[in-house]
With several copies, the nearest count.
Chain A
Amino acid sequence: MSEPAAIPAHRALGLTDAEYDLIVEKMGREPGPVELSMFSLMWSEHCAYKHSKKLLGQLPTEGRYLLMGPGENAGAVDVGDGLAVAFKVESHNHPSAVEPFQGAATGVGGILRDIFAVGARPIAVLDSLRFGEPDGTRSRYLLEHAVAGIGHYGNSIGVPTVGGEIYFEPAYEQNCLVNAMALGVAPHDRLTRAAATGPGNVLILFGALTGRDGIGGASVLASAELGEDDAAKRPTVQIGDPFAEKKLLECSLELLDRELLVSLQDLGAAGLTSSSSEMASKGGLGLDIHVDRVPLREPGMEPFEIMVSESQERMLCVVEPSKVDAVLAVCEKWETTATAIGEVTDSGHLRVIQNGAVVGDMPVIALVDDCPLYDLDPVKPTEPIYPAPPRTLRADDDDVQAILPELLGAPNIASRRAVFEQYDWLVQSRTVRRPDEADAAVLLLPDGAAIAVSIDGSGRRVAADPYRGTVEAVFECAANLACVGAEPLGLTNCLNFGNPEKPHVAWQLTESVRGMADACRALDTPVVGGNVSLYNESGGGPIYPTPVVGLVGRLPDASRAGRLGFALAGDAIAVVRAASPSLPGSELAKLRGEALPDGLPERNVAALRGAIELVRDAVRNGIVRSAHDVAEGGLAVALAEAALAGGIGAKVDLAAVGGHKRESKPLDVQLFGEGPGTFVLSGPRELLSELKAPDGVHLTVKVVGEVGGDALEIEHEGGTLAWSLDSLRDPRERGLADALDDTVRLDD
């Protein structure tokens, strides 16, 4: 390995002197180069969760529907009918910042492998993206290429991309976030764990050939802030090959269906090193790996290169000797290279062998479990961390008539059509609710029930209040599920934060995890898995703390899945409200160039949950014809979205909305104020007027207007506001599309 003579190798590899000394202690000697490179990966933040593991312990991981919790490649919940749904979200932030198309594409490839590694057939992908403001060329370039990369991989492999979210904030200018979530289905008995068992069993590597891809890639990248010398990391960009992964996927599932495998594990970050040591660790055994047997794409690769290579589209499995031939035959059928590269031993050691000579010999426990876990020293910052954004609002502050169309065209609110039309959202014939049709994607199950899934995490609100902002993110997902009639089964998350060694980031992280834990408990929803991405702060300081939440739920009857668009002229419109909205930290406040508030209002969590259950039941019982939760842009934007989605107007009386705080708020707060716990429903008047808040729950349910016409009319104390649907549709449709249209991409 070539690093300046000045720095000792372990530091160049991201290990502290103390960590190095501990390695020497555990080894009883100085590690050789192969061992050092492997330790440096296994003890990296990405693999060892050095700065997050202690916090993650707070997250509830028990639940009624839980089948497989954190610790496996993906978590899984029971969806009835003998079926399980496995899901997980993972980040590919740094690779995407270096090469957005391939970075995003291989991000999707990686999370899909986690899904079929547990024996589930991938049925859906969602993406969660964060960029700087789209008026910047670099941000537009990243957006265009990341979206194209996600589409390229998901579309080509035949897994629908059914949902996602995109936010644009200056805080992401230097650090875009690219998180991908995937879901898969499996019969309960096909769920597979990664533990290597049975000494004497054979270790088979199958899939793509091993090249010098991402040598010291993701793991090292993910553990050090991106420096000026990104270029130095470029030669090792990983190229995604969805065609190879499609064959790998079909091959893996056939191997499992034929019960030919003892265990299965994907190769992700840290390649063979982490996949093999994780398998050995989970089985409490050892492994011998013969690097000379690994099929290579490039000649003359060093043993350490083979062990740390992050070449994509590879899997590792443990097979009983008697089944090896059958396994190789299935791989042959799928044109997938498969090679026996080692065996399970009872040594408790991971041994790397080259042409009979041992070039690495490490206790598995030392590699996997002995990395020191660090306590954070969180300190709430006394100064604001994030500068106020520039004012971009063209309308006067009190010109609410002009503000609504402008909000609808704002990058964070405008239609995502230009993005989701680049994704195949329908392959596999399960998509009951497509993008823009409902607040959550709905996927049909064989028994006529359905899965609903939503992904969310507003970094701005978490930046304003890490605890309450994270609670809001979880409840936002639950609200989305409620609007299609689904009950949460399990949650996954990806914690995207800055450098945890800095006290204010440590505080953000600590508060955010505490909020997530409390919100999950409030909703009786376990965390089944996730991912952590730290050190997202190159150049312009830390990103907004961004816990991306993915929530998966179930509804008993797919044919009753809710829609967000108003449906029928004459239907009544009702507003359900559990908390009163406010402007600080809102989209409008951002457009007005206001700095983030120091904290968000406290919420009555029982009331939030009550509202969610009321809406869920209303949708399930067919009482409503539309349900939409109020989020960015507040009530006025939610009404406009429901009207545009249904292609029909509405008349609403603001005074009737009320809210449990009686004093009437300024008009802009009533129209554009944000906060969890507000829903817009429509349906037959006689049914809607029956809706009542359960006793003792602090909740208002009011019929406030009627569906009809081709304009949105809002009555308020001061008079009546009216917008033709066209005057709202145009800015909403163009807001993001325009940013994408002027970027060119030759096929990557």
Chain B
Amino acid sequence: MKMRVLIRPKAGILDPQGQAVERALPALGFDGVSQVHVGRLVELDVADPAQLPAMCDKLLANPLIEDYEIVSVEQAAPAS
């Protein structure tokens, strides 16, 4: 089954990449952007999706600083 794991910095955790993007956008003429956070996207085909939380806790995410969210690709909406 085709799944996605969305991994993002926990709220309040230092996110230099997010800050850098937020600083850069106005210079490129994009205003009204805030709350930028940069995380990781892991896409994978997994036989037994029930294993995913364990995979995330063990390898894919770092629970100390990251939250994750598991989405099946079907659920994810396509680009607008």
Contact = CB atoms under 8 A, between A and B. Distances in A.
Contacts of B27: 742
B38 A208 contact: no
A297 B14 contact: yes
B12 interface: yes
Interface string B1-32: 00000000110111111001101100100000
B70 interface: no
Interface stretch (B47-55, B57-65, B71-79): B57-65
**Contact residues of B: prevailing secondary structure:** mixed
B24 A744 contact: yes
Contacts, number: 50
Interface string A299-340: 000000000000110000000000000000000000100000
A704 interface: no
Contacts of B38: 746
A241 interface: yes
Contacts of A12: none
A237 B66 CA distance: 11
A241 B16 contact: yes
Interface string A210-242: 011100000000000000000000110111010
Contacts of B15: 239
Nearest to B62: A748
Contacts of B14: 208, 211, 213, 238-239, 241, 297, 311-312
Contacts of A239: 9, 13-16, 65
A335 B64 CA distance: 29
Interface residues of A, number: 25
Contacts of B65: 99, 102, 237, 239
Nearest to B42: A746
A359 interface: no
Contact of A237 (B20, B40, B59, B64): B64
A744 B23 CA distance: 9
Interface string A83-127: 000000000000000110010000000000000000000000000
Nearest to A102: B65
B64 A244 contact: no
A37 to B, nearest CB: 19
A252 B30 CA distance: 32
A243 B10 contact: no
A281 B42 CA distance: 46
Contact of B21 (A238, A742, A744): A744
Interface in A240-254: 241, 243-244
A305 to B, nearest CB: 11
B40 A746 contact: yes
B16 A212 contact: no
A298 interface: yes
B51 to A, nearest CB: 17
Given A99-B64, A744-B59, A748-B62, A235 B20 contact: no
B16 A244 contact: yes
A748 B17 CA distance: 12
B11 to A, nearest CB: 9
Contact of B12 (A298, A312, A746, A748): A298
A241 B23 CA distance: 15
Query: Which residue of B20, B23, B60 has the most chain A CB atoms within 10 A of its CB atom?
Result: B20
Contacts of A311: 14
Contacts of A234: 63-64
Query: Which residue of A213, A311, A744, A748 has the most chain B CB atoms within 10 A of its CB atom?
Result: A744
Contacts of A243: 16, 20
B21 to A, nearest CB: 7
Contacts of B20: 243, 744, 746
A213 B17 CA distance: 17
Query: Which residue of B21, B40, B59, B65 has the most chain A CB atoms within 10 A of its CB atom?
Result: B65
A502 B54 CA distance: 40
Contacts of A235: 10, 12
A739 to B, nearest CB: 14
Query: Which residue of A99, A234, A746, A747 has the most chain B CB atoms within 10 A of its CB atom?
Result: A746
Contacts of A237: 13, 64-65
A243 B15 CA distance: 12
A86 B68 CA distance: 43
B44 to A, nearest CB: 13
Contacts of A98: 64
Query: Which residue of B10, B20, B60, B64 has the most chain A CB atoms within 10 A of its CB atom?
Result: B64
Contacts of B62: 99, 748
A624 B16 CA distance: 47
A389 B47 CA distance: 43
Contacts of B64: 98-99, 234, 237
Contacts of A298: 12
A239 B14 CA distance: 6
A298 B15 CA distance: 12
A212 B40 contact: no
B12 to A, nearest CB: 6
11 contacts: A211-B14, A213-B14, A239-B15, A239-B16, A239-B65, A243-B20, A298-B12, A744-B24, A744-B59, A747-B40, A748-B62
Interface of B: 9-10, 12-17, 20-21, 23-24, 27, 38, 40, 59-60, 62-65
Chain A to chain B: the 6 pairs with minimum beta-carbon distance, closest first: A744-B24, A239-B14, A241-B16, A234-B64, A99-B64, A744-B20
Interface of A: 98-99, 102, 208, 211-213, 234-235, 237-239, 241, 243-244, 297-298, 311-312, 335, 742, 744, 746-748
Given A237-B13, A239-B14, 18 more contacts: A98-B64, A99-B62, A99-B64, A211-B14, A234-B63, A235-B10, A237-B64, A237-B65, A238-B14, A239-B9, A241-B14, A241-B16, A243-B16, A297-B14, A744-B20, A746-B20, A746-B21, A746-B38
